[in-house]
Chain A
Amino acid sequence: MNRYHLIFLLSFAIFIFFLTPDVNTGDGGELTTAAWFLGTAHPSGYPLYLMIGKAITFLPLGNIAFRIAIISALFSSLSLTLIYWLVFRFTASNSAALFSATTLLVSYSYFTQSVVAKFYSLNLFLILLLFSLWALQLCRERPAPGAVHNETQILYLTMFLAGLLTSNHHTGIIILGPVAIAWWLTKSYPLKLRTILTGIALVVAGSLVNSYLIIRGSHGHFFTAVNVDNLTDLWEVISRGAYGSSGTIAVAKNLFHGFGLYWYPLKNLFSILTTNFSYFSYLFFLAGSVWLFRKNLKLFIFIILCLILYGPLLAKITLGSEKKTETDFYIVAHQYFIPALSFFAVVLGAGFYQLERGLKAAQLRLLSKLLPVIFALFPLVFLVSRAADSNYRTNFVPYQVTKDTFSILPSDSVIMTFGDNASYQGWYLKLIGRYREDVCQMSSADQEKIAWMLQGCSRKIYASVFPTFFSEKFTEIVPMIQKHRFYGTDPVKETGAYKKYLYSSGLSIDYLYSPQDVFIKDKKERRRDSGSYFRQRQLEADKLIDYSACFSHFTDDFFSRQLCAHYAMHLTNMARLYSDASYHSTGEKVKVQVNDAKSGYSQPLYTINVTKKNRPYLECSDHLLRFNQWPILYLREKE
């Protein structure tokens, strides 16, 4: 075992300790389900990630979501080891290499992406492989014996990795720009036709991983988040055409418009760097840049080019607005800039080397050797911060909320899940976990138009249970809805497409959907009082759900906090049930209103009599909302 193995194992151990114990919010549920069923995920389909995911599902340890999250820990540890190795090659200093690795390890965004199921760590590893190959090539004065020294070999590896990059996140492809420059800077002989043709063949061989999407994405398969029936569909998925102005091609075009609009992207990028590395890091960055510039101009150009492309340019197309929402912080700022953080950390290592040289020059004897090691390990102190804001080991919220969403439903119900979180987590629990198989889960991105996805309610399984439902005629579904069998994770929005057909009422952590009066033939049945049903179901739900997960997680996961607000709705509903004077009124009255931040729905403002019976519910709701308020999101707070 050598020091590289130790760096890898130690970082792996740290990430595994903090790793999410179950399904996480965001894409985690979808990726896990797609990997298990060998299905497809949202565009760009992520076939490479899913194949790695499927391989790891055979591991007989933990649950399937935990296993998929191991991929993040694994590739993040490999990336850290690669950075350590690279900085060591530049500086020949263990401390400088260690400083780069530890600084990146404890940075908020890098750390968080390493402990949840996401494809960004795999993406980073592929990017860093290419980066290392060419950085080393730029450093090399003469080939090292036994190493991969042949220019053609490196070119071939690059071409193959370029092909592979098309089968993961589209930001990976950006690295090919700096790599092309590096090749131009290092090439010592003109390319032969054979080399060019072999290179093209290797790009094809790498991108053939995408043929997974054609085979497993067709309509006949059990789980597909996107369908790929022909080559046009394949191109749409790989280029993320479905996202319109956010698609890969559209976004790339935007890159070259309005060069004057780089102020806010730059400002936002500095905000991200400062949050992750603190103001002190700029000193090291400056020292590192100067040293790299003087040591190897070509290498300096290459690294800075990588940093510019993954920094300001990426910020221009993804984070360019003055005002940013929580989603901008949580999805864009927190995920897309991991490569930029890594390149920044490499330069920090070079800057640290200057400090080390300074200490050596000061001739402090033992201190000259000891201090660099202490300083290099110092960033690990910030693991304490990560234990408070990114301790995903404690985050059972996504699993628990999803489970409770299903648990409180009566048998043979239909539930509509809106948005990625509710839908993806539902798929994981229902399709892999086979929880509440009597319940049919329909999914929809939003309520703007009526468009259902039926991954959680396969016709193959449910056609016999809900025959009227599959008739696709609303009037035929009405009798089932009238039996209180239709629910949703969001309320029916006033401005949405469903309003014409349905209205909703909050019941525990879900919403009960009822048909609009015009669809009910029997006038006596219209808007009948469901008070007794509500009371009975609310009381039953109180025995089934468990909101303690919302009090015991140490993560500032934006979506987990949103999900916890559902429990506050349940608790206030319980408080209303027990507000009658017969429950020993205390004489106090409180005004209560709960906002469902996810759907934007606010419960009506209730004035509730405080009784001995409902006081615990009111207090609990208050504590829960305080514990889960989202303005404390780490990136936002630092802004």
Chain B
Amino acid sequence: MADTIFTGKRIKNACLIALCMTGILLLRLSFDQFQSYSNGAEALEKGNRTDAVMYFERVLHAHVPFSPLENKARNNLMGLASRFEKEKEYESALLCYETIRTSRYLTRHFFVPGSRDLPFLNDRIASIKAQLLVKDGMVKGFKEGYDQQMGIMNKDYSPSAFWSLVAVSAFWVYIGFIVLWILKRKGVYVYIFCLAFVAWLTGLYMA
């Protein structure tokens, strides 16, 4: 088998390198979050709300799971949005809600982080847009505008996470076993390659 390639020492080294790479990424993103959050808090203190939105958004974009700063940035953005709404600055409020929603979607992987916020955000976004559409005479009434916006926001055309994962995994098996066959020439690798290739195509088709 592939025992001379996948030796214990090599696997240990690979794990160690992967760990170091994750550490490097975490350091970079945590640093970005810290810097952006500090800038955002400072901007908020000075009353520069546009800058504050921008910096808090950057905190969310530098997504690190379980980061306390992310939650604080999200709360600050929510606070800003409701303040804008109270001041009847609807487009600015819309910007804040859209910013949080987009940040969540831009940091999604198997699932959308902070997806518990999405129903509330969708509702606020649809409500504000419906109000603005009524004001501009684009729709007949609030309900029509609201339903139209909710209709758009409830559709998601992203590929299936499960089938995407099948396609990605099968792809690496397909490539890996061809290389293994070249190095080791075991007939069984050809069968695995064929199976992986079919699985890859199936994953791509179904995703």
Contact B21–A55 (Cβ < 8 Å): no
CB-contact partner of B136 in A61, A212, A410, under 8 A: A410
0 or 1 for each of A515-551: is its CB under 8 Å from B? (1 = yes): 0000000000000000000000000100111101100
A38-B167, A434-B101, A546-B51 in contact; A60/B129 too (CB < 8 A)?
A: no
Is B50 an interface residue when CB atoms closer than 8 A count as contact?
yes
Question: For A230, what are the chain B residues with a Cβ–Cβ distance below 8 Å?
Answer: none
A51-B171, A62-B107 in contact; A17/B54 too (CB < 8 A)?
A: no
Is B133 an interface residue when CB atoms closer than 8 A count as contact?
yes
The SS class assigned to the A binding surface is helix
Is B182 an interface residue when CB atoms closer than 8 A count as contact?
yes
B 28-75 contacts with A by CB, 8 A: 28-29, 32, 50-51, 53-54, 58, 61-65
B131 to chain A, nearest CB (A): 9
A222-B157, A410-B132, A412-B133 in contact; A63/B51 too (CB < 8 A)?
A: no
Contact B178–A205 (Cβ < 8 Å): yes
CB-contact partner of B149 in A61, A433, A434, A438, under 8 A: A438
CB-contact partner of A5 in B17, B63, B136, B197, under 8 A: B17
CB-contact partner of A215 in B29, B110, B179, B201, under 8 A: B201
0 or 1 for each of B190-203: is its CB under 8 Å from A? (1 = yes): 00010001000100
Contact A58–B165 (Cβ < 8 Å): yes
Contact B168–A400 (Cβ < 8 Å): no
List the A residue with the shortest CB-CB distance to B185: A153
A63 to B102, CA, bound (A): 11
CB-contact partner of A157 in B106, B133, B159, B182, under 8 A: B182
List the B residue with the shortest CB-CB distance to A548: B51
Is A22 an interface residue when CB atoms closer than 8 A count as contact?
yes
A424 to chain B, nearest CB (A): 15
Contact B58–A55 (Cβ < 8 Å): no
Contact B109–A58 (Cβ < 8 Å): yes
CB-contact partner of B105 in A5, A148, A434, A461, under 8 A: A434
CB-contact partner of B182 in A12, A153, A549, under 8 A: A153
A12 to B178, CA, bound (A): 28
A 464-504 contacts with B by CB, 8 A: 464-465, 483, 485
A8-B17, A63-B63, A160-B179 in contact; A411/B132 too (CB < 8 A)?
A: yes
Question: For A153, what are the chain B residues with a Cβ–Cβ distance below 8 Å?
Answer: 182-183
B79 to chain A, nearest CB (A): 17
Contact A60–B136 (Cβ < 8 Å): no
Contact B164–A208 (Cβ < 8 Å): no
A61-B29, A157-B179, A483-B136 in contact; A433/B106 too (CB < 8 A)?
A: yes
Is B207 an interface residue when CB atoms closer than 8 A count as contact?
yes
Question: For B148, what are the chain A residues with a Cβ–Cβ distance below 8 Å?
Answer: 464-465
Contact B62–A544 (Cβ < 8 Å): no
0 or 1 for each of A13-44: is its CB under 8 Å from B? (1 = yes): 10011010110000000000000111000000
A461 to B155, CA, bound (A): 8
A58 to B101, CA, bound (A): 19
A1 to B12, CA, bound (A): 9
0 or 1 for each of A40-82: is its CB under 8 Å from B? (1 = yes): 0000000000010011011111111110001000000000000
List the B residue with the shortest CB-CB distance to A59: B109
Contact A483–B137 (Cβ < 8 Å): yes
B191 to chain A, nearest CB (A): 14
Total B residues in contact with A, Cβ cutoff 8 Å: 71
Is A446 an interface residue when CB atoms closer than 8 A count as contact?
no
B3 to chain A, nearest CB (A): 13
Is B20 an interface residue when CB atoms closer than 8 A count as contact?
yes
Is A432 an interface residue when CB atoms closer than 8 A count as contact?
yes
A430 to B26, CA, bound (A): 27
A 391-444 contacts with B by CB, 8 A: 393, 396, 400, 407, 410-412, 429, 432-438
Contact B207–A38 (Cβ < 8 Å): yes
Contact A9–B20 (Cβ < 8 Å): yes
0 or 1 for each of A143-165: is its CB under 8 Å from B? (1 = yes): 00010100001001100100010
A434 to B103, CA, bound (A): 9
A55 to B107, CA, bound (A): 14
A12 to B19, CA, bound (A): 13
Question: For B152, what are the chain A residues with a Cβ–Cβ distance below 8 Å?
Answer: 437-438, 461-462, 465
Is B25 an interface residue when CB atoms closer than 8 A count as contact?
yes
A78 to B105, CA, bound (A): 31
Is A593 an interface residue when CB atoms closer than 8 A count as contact?
no
A287 to chain B, nearest CB (A): 34
Contact A411–B133 (Cβ < 8 Å): yes
Question: For A59, what are the chain B residues with a Cβ–Cβ distance below 8 Å?
Answer: 109
B109 to chain A, nearest CB (A): 5
Question: For B120, what are the chain A residues with a Cβ–Cβ distance below 8 Å?
Answer: none
Contact B102–A12 (Cβ < 8 Å): no
Contact A60–B63 (Cβ < 8 Å): yes
CB-contact partner of B28 in A19, A38, A435, under 8 A: A19
A160-B179, A546-B51 in contact; A38/B129 too (CB < 8 A)?
A: no
Contact B61–A62 (Cβ < 8 Å): yes
Is A202 an interface residue when CB atoms closer than 8 A count as contact?
yes
Question: For B138, what are the chain A residues with a Cβ–Cβ distance below 8 Å?
Answer: 411-412, 483, 485
Question: For A62, what are the chain B residues with a Cβ–Cβ distance below 8 Å?
Answer: 25, 29, 61-63, 107
Contact A460–B182 (Cβ < 8 Å): no
Contact A60–B109 (Cβ < 8 Å): yes
Is A458 an interface residue when CB atoms closer than 8 A count as contact?
yes
Question: For B204, what are the chain A residues with a Cβ–Cβ distance below 8 Å?
Answer: 38, 212, 215-216
Question: For B175, what are the chain A residues with a Cβ–Cβ distance below 8 Å?
Answer: 164
List the A residue with the shortest CB-CB distance to B163: A38
List the A residue with the shortest CB-CB distance to B50: A546
CB-contact partner of B107 in A64, A146, A148, under 8 A: A64
A 197-225 contacts with B by CB, 8 A: 202, 205-206, 208, 211-212, 215-216, 222-223
A51 to B201, CA, bound (A): 12
Question: For A461, what are the chain B residues with a Cβ–Cβ distance below 8 Å?
Answer: 152, 155, 157
Question: For A157, what are the chain B residues with a Cβ–Cβ distance below 8 Å?
Answer: 179, 182
Question: For B85, what are the chain A residues with a Cβ–Cβ distance below 8 Å?
Answer: none
CB-contact partner of B21 in A12, A22, A156, A215, under 8 A: A12
B168 to chain A, nearest CB (A): 4
Contact A202–B92 (Cβ < 8 Å): no
B 114-171 contacts with A by CB, 8 A: 129, 132-133, 136-138, 148-149, 151-153, 155-159, 164-165, 167-168, 171
CB-contact partner of B13 in A1, A16, A65, A464, under 8 A: A1
A461 to B152, CA, bound (A): 6
A62 to B60, CA, bound (A): 8
B167 to chain A, nearest CB (A): 7
What are 8 A-B contacts defined by CB distance under 8 Å?
Answer: A5-B17, A13-B24, A16-B25, A215-B205, A433-B105, A435-B102, A437-B149, A485-B138
Chain B residues at the A interface, C-beta cutoff of 8 Å = 4, 13, 16-17, 20-22, 24-26, 28-29, 32, 50-51, 53-54, 58, 61-65, 89, 91-92, 95, 98, 101-103, 105-110, 113, 129, 132-133, 136-138, 148-149, 151-153, 155-159, 164-165, 167-168, 171-172, 175, 178-179, 182-183, 193, 197, 201, 204-205, 207
Given A59-B109, A63-B106, A212-B204, 16 new contacts (CB under 8 A) = A5-B17, A19-B28, A38-B167, A38-B207, A63-B103, A410-B136, A411-B129, A411-B132, A432-B105, A432-B106, A434-B102, A437-B149, A483-B136, A483-B138, A543-B89, A549-B54
Closest 4 CB pairs of A and B: A433-B102, A222-B157, A435-B102, A63-B106
